């Protein structure tokens, strides 16, 4: 890992740079795939599934029989774990429900807000080097609690054209309505435009590689909403001498094994802790089945020493980590002063992997600094807030003149007339 001591504030931007390609590097590829799928639909889905995934599939839709068979291929131990996680995720997202908000702003002017579910949502579940069935829990569970009527799931097939049984089992358990064997850019394009197989959706959720991230951003140009620009995974740990170096190293490696473009950072006010963690990373790395992937991510990662807590928190807020672990004696200072983070994990016994799987919080989070302006996925992500108002005769008399004066000042006579006619009818 790269050790950096007391970086100057003017250098923070370069020190904290993510190991990602710019949108311009891959936007042309994404636009081409989108154009061809918009015009060629399933024919082009087949073309790009063969090109990018190296497999030909007879049908993109996974039939119900395959889903039933998948259940028998998942161990009872894993099913129990998935069910436990599902229960905790349901509990946490159910308490996010809010009641109708209502107020009489003036006498006779009643305004209220209600939330309604997004009717059609698309879930993208990465396959690739790791079949992320846990992401189905994070997306399908709140989608069902919200009341979404159509929940479409796309995930890439393996080299044999199959879907991991745990993905199929979890999707069925969580109420996904349709499952499709299609991944990458072509999956996002399919859900954006709709094809003979894949229905068009109103909003797309889920993480993915840099190509998927750009594809989701391009989808917004075609009238489809997205949860956030979620790209390669990242983790920042702040630790002092009160932390356990082995625990810190295990957390860094847990994110590093996601992919070669993942990034992990340790910020510390202790040089000794930095040295201990570096040794632990090297030691634990040797036992990892995904060592080659983790090593490449570690090569892009940083161990940063700073003199004090204030500099540390300023640096952390500048980075805006997706996942953020606080293992320090003065944890209240960091918790209270954290402004930019996707999800925060506090204390030596709160590993980031708890949030990835079973604690109940959502693991679909903003990356690449987007934590400065985006929230992670939550129940409201699957809903729309709608406002309503009802004005009585007393109410229109109360606010009517103000509306007339303001409309006239803006030069919008028809707006004024819509009120004037009503007021005159009441004389």
Is 233 marked as a binding-site residue?
yes
CA–CA dist 292, 276 (Å, integer): 22
Active site residue 69: no
The catalytic position among 257, 278, 280, 322 is: 322
Q: What are residue 66's phi and psi, to 5 degrees?
A: -65, -35
β partners of residue 230: none
Beta carbons within 8 Å of 363's beta carbon, 6+ residues apart? 134, 135, 138, 343, 355, 356, 357, 376
Handedness of CA 207, 210, 212, 215 (dihedral sign): positive
Is 222 known to sit in a ligand binding site?
Answer: no
356 is in an annotated binding site: yes
Q: Known binder of ligand: residue 124?
A: yes
Torsion-angle region of 300 (φ positive above 0: left; ψ -120 to 50: alpha; else: beta): alpha
258 annotated binding-site participant: yes
From the list 46, 257, 278, 323, the catalytic residue is 323
Establish whether 255 is an annotated binding residue.
Answer: yes
The reply, when asked if residue 415 is annotated as ligand binding, is yes
CB atoms within 10 A of CB 25: 11
Dihedral-angle region of residue 110 (phi above 0 means left; psi in -120 to 50 means alpha; beta otherwise): beta
Q: Decide if 222 is catalytic.
A: no
Q: Is 324 annotated as a binding residue?
A: no
What positions carry a catalytic annotation? 322-323
Q: Annotated binding site: which residue ranges?
A: 124, 186, 209, 233, 255, 258, 323, 356, 410, 415
Q: Annotated binding site for NAD(+): which residue ranges?
A: 124, 186, 209
Q: Annotated binding site for Zn(2+): which residue ranges?
A: 255, 258, 356, 415
């Amino acid at each position: 890992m790269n050790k950096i001591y007391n970086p100057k504030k003017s250098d923070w931007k370069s020190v904290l740079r993510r190991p990602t390609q710019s949108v311009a590097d891959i936007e042309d590829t994404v636009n081409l795939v989108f154009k061809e799928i918009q015009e060629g639909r399933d024919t082009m889905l087949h073309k790009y599934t063969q090109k990018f995934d190296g497999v030909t599939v007879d049908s993109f839709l996974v039939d119900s029989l395959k889903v039933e068979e998948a259940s028998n291929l998942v161990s009872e131990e894993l099913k129990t774990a998935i069910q436990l996680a599902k229960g905790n995720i349901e509990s946490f997202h159910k308490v996010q429900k809010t009641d109708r908000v209502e107020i009489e702003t003036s006498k006779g002017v009643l305004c209220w807000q209600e939330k309604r579910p997004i009717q059609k949502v698309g879930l993208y579940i990465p396959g690739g080097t790791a079949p992320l069935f846990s992401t189905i829990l994070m997306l399908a569970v709140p989608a069902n609690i919200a009341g979404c009527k159509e929940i479409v799931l796309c995930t890439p097939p393996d080299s044999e054209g199959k879907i991991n049984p745990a993905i199929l089992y979890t999707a069925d358990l969580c109420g996904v309505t349709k499952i499709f064997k299609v991944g990458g850019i072509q999956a996002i394009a399919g859900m954006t435009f709709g094809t003979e197989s894949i229905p068009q959706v109103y909003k797309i959720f889920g993480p993915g590689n840099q190509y998927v991230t750009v594809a989701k951003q391009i989808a917004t140009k075609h009238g489809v909403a997205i949860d956030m620009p979620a790209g390669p995974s990242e983790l920042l740990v702040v630790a002092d001498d009160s932390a356990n170096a082995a625990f810190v190293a295990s957390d860094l490696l847990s994110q590093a094994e996601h992919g070669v473009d993942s990034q992990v950072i340790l910020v510390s006010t202790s040089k000794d802790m930095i040295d201990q963690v570096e040794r632990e990373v090297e030691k634990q790395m040797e036992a990892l089945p995904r060592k080659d992937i983790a090593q490449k991510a570690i090569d892009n990662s940083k161990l940063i020493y700073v003199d004090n807590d204030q500099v540390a928190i300023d640096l952390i807020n500048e980075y805006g980590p997706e996942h953020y672990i606080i293992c320090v004696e003065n944890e209240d200072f960091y918790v209270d002063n954290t402004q930019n983070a996707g999800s925060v994990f506090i204390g030596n016994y709160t590993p980031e992997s708890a949030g990835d799987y079973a604690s109940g919080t959502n693991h679909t989070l903003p990356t690449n600094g987007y934590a400065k302006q985006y929230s992670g996925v939550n129940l409201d992500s699957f809903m729309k807030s709608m406002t309503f108002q009802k004005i009585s005769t007393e109410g229109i008399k109360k606010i009517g003149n103000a509306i007339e004066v303001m409309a006239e000042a803006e030069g919008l006579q028809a707006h004024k007339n819509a009120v004037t006619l009503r007021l005159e009818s009441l004389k």
